[in-house]
Structure 1
């Protein structure tokens, strides 16, 4: 039997290790920065044990944000810019990983793998594009080969494509990590992530994986952040200061809630392609409130986020479920207080009480998906495809001279 080449032999060796050190990378639609989570894993599947060793968010500079915004969630963009950013972001993220490792005094050779989500630039489920001849689709850039070559670390990336190819919508992928890390027999749990888009995973008390639901709900921070940039030249509503200075406009709120997406059956996905400033402008036009103050707009959008989350939970799950929140919205006092008002029977905390840093949760979950790609087996959870996700990119171990 011929020997494996060096790349495949190293891959085999890593996959066989009982304990792995992996890095999860997450860059969300808010473009705050790159989340880097260094995790230790033992086992896989339902026997997975993990420890968060280090975590950091390295903020993006405004110039980089502007470059990505030129192509983000736009139907018509500069194809050359997409091509250039795909390579650039891969190398850039690799540089940020090396900077984090240097800060932590950890050598790249000590890390077994990097699991990179990439930068989503367009999410196009069939329910949104409505073109009968085309399937669900999504696109994340930040090439894995560039990360692997830059860091010298095996890189796993492009996770969402297998989920789509196997019949899913490519999101939310938090499902797998939430089930493996968040289930508790005898307790109905909801792991709620309020990122750019709000999504949740329902974990039933009886542990029946057929009852697990993982779905997008609607806007998380994306509309609030977009309005803060538009009206206040601020990236987000820090400590809800703007929302708390305004008043909720009931007419606008009603118009925002009046969209077919909220009546569609879960699981479902969405993105800023739907929930953007045009969505807000249309709702203002319909409700006849185009002249309300920017502060009132932020207040209304904040309650809109909370109302859509609460309505979905009340319509589908036990009202006294324990809710564990993560993402930027978990630090938004206005949104969280609204949730507590709308869900008086629920116990709402953040994922820190589960031992999972709420800021690091998504990066941790992608590191876990990387561990599964290496050593796991497909798991059937609810109606989701039973697949392992991720594409492997090898570093340049050596140069063979002929």
Structure 2
């Protein structure tokens, strides 16, 4: 008996939508199909603009949700076509887990903060996605955790635990999307809790600077950053952000680490070479991530990197240099390619919702208890 669920993810890197069809019937999950669809430059620019207050944003956000649903539907169509070639019919797919596109993330900063001031917002139109695909859709995964006093993020540590933990060692898992998040996994079977939190910027600021200066959407392999030199005063200014010193649980997004935040930080350094600024932005991501591991995951023997940043060889080398006591590798070595991990996590979360089983870890998000996450939009 097979157990198929689709997971869709479009993250803070704003590069496009990734999708996987996952079979959960075995002892370990099996990805049976993958697909992706890039965002157009115009759509990417609109999503980026919607991360900050702007003119007529309610109308524009609704239209963006419709466009995202259309992109998601194309990814699903590609997955269903691949599945059909393997003898898997659409009727065998239980649901689509569709995360949506985060444009605001404002959880409570402290447990004593006002509950009615906390929210998280992901653009999507799951009703339209169900209509376009003919499949059940599970969406809006973060809001219930926020309603229960949690951060609503990160939600992937429970999935990471099921896929990447080891019986003999502590393991750290670092997702390098637009924002970086860390899962700290105790040995399987241990009574110790899983920890997880957002470290800070991942690729978002590096990608933005690279695009502005070179016209390329990202620094392939980190070669441009590697050609530059560190600017210590700029790094100190970047790290002088209160978020980095907040205790866990904590989460963040482009609300804080925005282009406006970066522009303000760069004002005193307008005469510096662009490649030196790129090198320093890379080091900011390295410092945020290594500090998280050093503070909460010193027992870790392995750091597994996933997300788009896993392809930045310079960044991986700098992470290894900053964490010499553990081994840095990518999720490829554990059987799940870096660009499939988050989409697979939302397939798992959708399946959890259909089974009415919790998807959050209160020790990670700070929620008052376990909660079933997501809302169902039937086909």
The TM-score with structure 2 as length reference comes to: 0.91
Indicate how the Cα distance of structure 1 residues 200 and 386 shifts in structure 2: closer, same or farther if over 3 A, else same.
Answer: same
Equivalent-residue separation in structure 1 for 2:300 and 2:143 (angstroms): 35
Question: Mapping of 1:294-309 within 5 angstroms?
Answer: 294-309=274-289
8 Å Cα contact 2:176/2:203 also seen in 1: yes
Partner of 1:388: 372
Query: Number of paired residues?
Result: 370
Equivalent-residue separation in structure 1 for 2:188 and 2:266 (angstroms): 44
Question: Mapping of 1:279-294 within 5 angstroms?
Answer: 279-285=261-267, 288-294=268-274
Question: Mapping of 1:22-61 within 5 angstroms?
Answer: 22-42=5-25, 49-61=28-40
Gaps of 5+ in 2: none
Partner of 1:5: none
Question: Mapping of 1:204-353 within 5 angstroms?
Answer: 204-205=186-187, 207-208=189-190, 210-285=192-267, 288-318=268-298, 320-353=300-333
Indicate how the Cα distance of structure 1 residues 144 and 257 shifts in structure 2: closer, same or farther if over 3 A, else same.
Answer: same
Please say if 1:86 is aligned against 2:68.
no
8 Å Cα contact 2:108/2:150 also seen in 1: no
Q: CA offsets, 1:323-363, max 9 Å, x none?
A: 11100111111211111111111111111222222110000
Please say if 1:75 is aligned against 2:53.
yes
- Distance apart, 1:274 and its partner CA: 1.0
Indicate how the Cα distance of structure 1 residues 81 and 271 shifts in structure 2: closer, same or farther if over 3 A, else same.
Answer: same
Q: 2:348 aligns with which of 368, 373, 378?
A: 368
Equivalent-residue separation in structure 1 for 2:234 and 2:28 (angstroms): 46
Equivalent-residue separation in structure 2 for 1:133 and 1:34 (angstroms): 32
Equivalent-residue separation in structure 2 for 1:64 and 1:169 (angstroms): 28
**SS of equivalent to 2:9:** strand
Greater shift, 268-277 or 130-139, is seen at 130-139
Partner of 2:150: 168
Question: Mapping of 1:187-206 within 5 angstroms?
Answer: 187-205=169-187
Equivalent-residue separation in structure 2 for 1:160 and 1:132 (angstroms): 18
Equivalent-residue separation in structure 2 for 1:120 and 1:170 (angstroms): 12
Indicate how the Cα distance of structure 1 residues 194 and 212 shifts in structure 2: closer, same or farther if over 3 A, else same.
Answer: same
**SS of equivalent to 1:42:** coil
Equivalent-residue separation in structure 2 for 1:392 and 1:206 (angstroms): 31
Greater shift, 338-347 or 87-96, is seen at 87-96
Question: Mapping of 1:108-187 within 5 angstroms?
Answer: 108-127=90-109, 132=114, 134-187=116-169
8 Å Cα contact 2:155/2:359 also seen in 1: no
8 Å Cα contact 2:8/2:343 also seen in 1: yes
Q: CA offsets, 1:281-304, max 9 Å, x none?
A: 33334xx42311111111100011
Partner of 1:6: none
- Distance apart, 1:380 and its partner CA: 7.4
8 Å Cα contact 2:32/2:83 also seen in 1: no
The TM-score with structure 1 as length reference comes to: 0.86
Indicate how the Cα distance of structure 1 residues 66 and 209 shifts in structure 2: closer, same or farther if over 3 A, else same.
Answer: farther
Equivalent-residue separation in structure 2 for 1:153 and 1:312 (angstroms): 39
Indicate how the Cα distance of structure 1 residues 346 and 369 shifts in structure 2: closer, same or farther if over 3 A, else same.
Answer: same
Equivalent-residue separation in structure 2 for 1:210 and 1:319 (angstroms): 12
- Distance apart, 1:194 and its partner CA: 0.7
- Distance apart, 1:382 and its partner CA: 5.2
**SS of equivalent to 1:239:** helix
Equivalent-residue separation in structure 2 for 1:157 and 1:320 (angstroms): 33
8 Å Cα contact 1:224/1:237 also seen in 2: yes
Indicate how the Cα distance of structure 1 residues 344 and 375 shifts in structure 2: closer, same or farther if over 3 A, else same.
Answer: same
Equivalent-residue separation in structure 2 for 1:201 and 1:166 (angstroms): 21
Cα-Cα RMSD = 2.2
8 Å Cα contact 1:138/1:160 also seen in 2: yes
8 Å Cα contact 1:210/1:382 also seen in 2: no
- Distance apart, 1:277 and its partner CA: 2.6
- Distance apart, 1:181 and its partner CA: 2.0
Greater shift, 369-378 or 217-226, is seen at 369-378
Gaps of 5+ in 1: 1-17, 396-402
